[in-house]
Chains A and B, each alone.
Chain A
Amino acid sequence: MTHTEPYALTLDEAARALADRSLSPVELTASVLDRIAHTEPAITAYATVTAESASAAAREAEREIAAGRRRGPLHGVPMALKDLVDTAGVPTTAGSLVRAGRVPAEDAEVTTRLRAAGAVLVGKTHTHEFAYGTTTPQTRNPWATDRVPGGSSGGSAAAVAAGAATFTLGTDTGGSIRIPAALTGVVGLKPTYGLVSRHGVASLSWSLDHVGPITRTVRDAALVLDTIAGHDPRDEASLDVVRGTYVPRRDGDIAGLRVGVPTNFYFDRVHPEIEGAVRAAVDDLVALGATAVPVEIPMARYVQAAESALMVPEATAYHRETLRTVPELYSDEVRILLEAGEFVPATDYIRAQRARTLMRRAWCDLFHDVDLVAAPTVASPAARVGETSLEWPDGSVESVSDAYVRLSAPANLTGLPALSLPVGFDGHGLPIGMQLIGRPLGEALLLRAGDVYESAHRPTARLAPLRVGTPAGGPPGTAG
């Protein structure tokens, strides 16, 4: 494999090649479809591949571009959508037998926007059942196929990491975009709560759900956000805000940027190689002109309580009818959580909503002193398939799911934008992610900071090597 293959292009590279007509949408789509056929036996990122309609859409895009009617940077670019996002005429099952065979009649709002921008749907990517989990058991991690890709948007992240989609969308309720992005070495953006419509996207928890891009680079995430952000009155949480472009200038800088470095919570019980990589990346940001400022994370000890007390009963409310009519169609893991949610008192739920108010205020106060906060995305690298818990050096044992959600949930509770980007590998060659958390509607700054870091330290976004097992140690493998 060489990186001159069209499937290996980033969205930004592909868009420029399509613009100058050195690449056609038909060539690009065919290349990605061939790559899907090559990678699927190893990673199973896709629930559905729409090869025929994708080829037709690519031909249409080619005709339009040839006629001088190029719609923008996404025109003719192959994308995949998490199987939680409705796509008219294409099965959308939320990874569950409860919705087996379901074919929506209408597109979700984000699907409509992406189709209008000319993006080519190549398929639907696997999700942990109804997004209620962080491992996506159907899919394997393309950096080591004995490892999970994370979740719940595991298929979306694995596809991007393997070159089996130029970009994808995921959803994020407790970290479900950022967790798999970190574990598969790609970029994931959870936008500000309400910036991207959730209409037509199956809900896990209305208070915490977000939709956002998973891409190979930060610049690519900005290009997708430009298309999907915007007001939609059909989403009760949608914000009606005026905005400009999110795409960073190519000569952008971060001189004077104040980067908050947590003194509590975010580096507690974190794998030492992850801590080392993230602290090194902060040093890199400082070398690029930023200033590191120690910050104390407010109300950190209430994060898990508030996240659980909101998500669990809201999920149960969403599934109330089918939990009574077809409970046997849920996986045991998800069914138990849904049933347990029946017994959370309303007062606990309301207290969690009140805690959310306090957390949001306290975090906004924190941003008087810093422009963004830099932290690990997850506490531990990709777990082995079937691994359910891990032991920390202090002797404590934590479920894999808790270890993944713990550091990402604050941005769900507060609604703050959070960007995960790759900052290195551990000794087994498994990717490490750093998240940058910003002010409400501060996506442009996060994307600029991420782009400046990436341009300096990760100028080429490598594809995952599709290794069959985890190497015993040593330097990361080469792109395959």
Chain B
Amino acid sequence: MTDTTDTTETDGTAEPPPPEPDFTPADIARLAARAGLPVDASRLPVIAATVNHLHGLVAALNDIPFGETAPAFVFDARRDDAS
């Protein structure tokens, strides 16, 4: 999945991208296997539903004109590693 929204968001005139297709339980099974995550088949539907709900929420970020905004990670190179 790639993020192609940044170049189209800033002028406010581009057509919104088509909605992404929902994950199916089979999709989750395949991705979970690839991630090494053990998931019983009976639980795949509820996980897929949760993932789809989550992606629906996060889709709101498509509308933000990010421009050159950097992420808000926390890092201070001056700091000694005291751990």
Interface residues of A (CB under 8 A from B): 194, 206-207, 233-234, 236-237, 299, 301-302, 304-306, 308-309, 312, 323-324, 327, 336-337, 339-340, 342-345, 347-348, 350-358, 360
Contact = CB atoms under 8 A, between A and B. Distances in A.
B46 A353 contact: no
Contact of A308 (B28, B35, B57, B64): B57
A299 B64 CA distance: 9
A343 B31 contact: yes
Interface in B32-83: 32, 35-39, 43, 46-47, 50-51, 54-55, 57-61, 63-64, 66, 69-75, 79-80, 82-83
Given A354-B66, A354-B70, A233 B80 contact: yes
B31 A237 contact: no
B20 to A, nearest CB: 10
A304 B83 CA distance: 33
B14 interface: no
Interface of B: 1-3, 23, 28, 31-32, 35-39, 43, 46-47, 50-51, 54-55, 57-61, 63-64, 66, 69-75, 79-80, 82-83
A305 B58 contact: yes
A334 to B, nearest CB: 12
B58 A348 contact: yes
Contacts of A323: 37
Contact of A347 (B2, B43, B60, B75): B2
B55 to A, nearest CB: 8
Given A353-B72, A355-B61, 10 more contacts: A301-B60, A308-B54, A308-B58, A337-B50, A340-B54, A342-B31, A347-B2, A355-B66, A357-B72, A358-B69
B7 to A, nearest CB: 14
A301 B46 CA distance: 27
A304 B74 contact: no
A324 B38 contact: yes
B50 A305 contact: no
| Residue with the highest number of chain A CB atoms closer than 10 Å, among B57, B58, B59, B75 | B58
B64 A358 contact: yes
| Residue with the highest number of chain B CB atoms closer than 10 Å, among A301, A339, A360 | A339
B3 to A, nearest CB: 4
A358 B61 contact: no
A65 to B, nearest CB: 34
A327 to B, nearest CB: 7
A302 B60 contact: yes
Contact of B57 (A236, A237, A304, A324): A304
A302 B59 CA distance: 9
Given A327-B38, A353-B71, A354-B66, A342 B32 contact: yes
Nearest to A344: B54
B47 A339 contact: yes
Contacts of A345: 1, 3
Contacts of A233: 79-80, 82-83
A302 B47 CA distance: 24
B74 A342 contact: no
A340 B51 contact: yes
Given A337-B50, A354-B72, A344 B37 contact: no
A194 B75 CA distance: 12
Contacts of A356: 71-72
| Residue with the highest number of chain A CB atoms closer than 10 Å, among B37, B50, B72, B79 | B72
A1 B15 CA distance: 66
Contact of B50 (A237, A306, A309, A340): A340
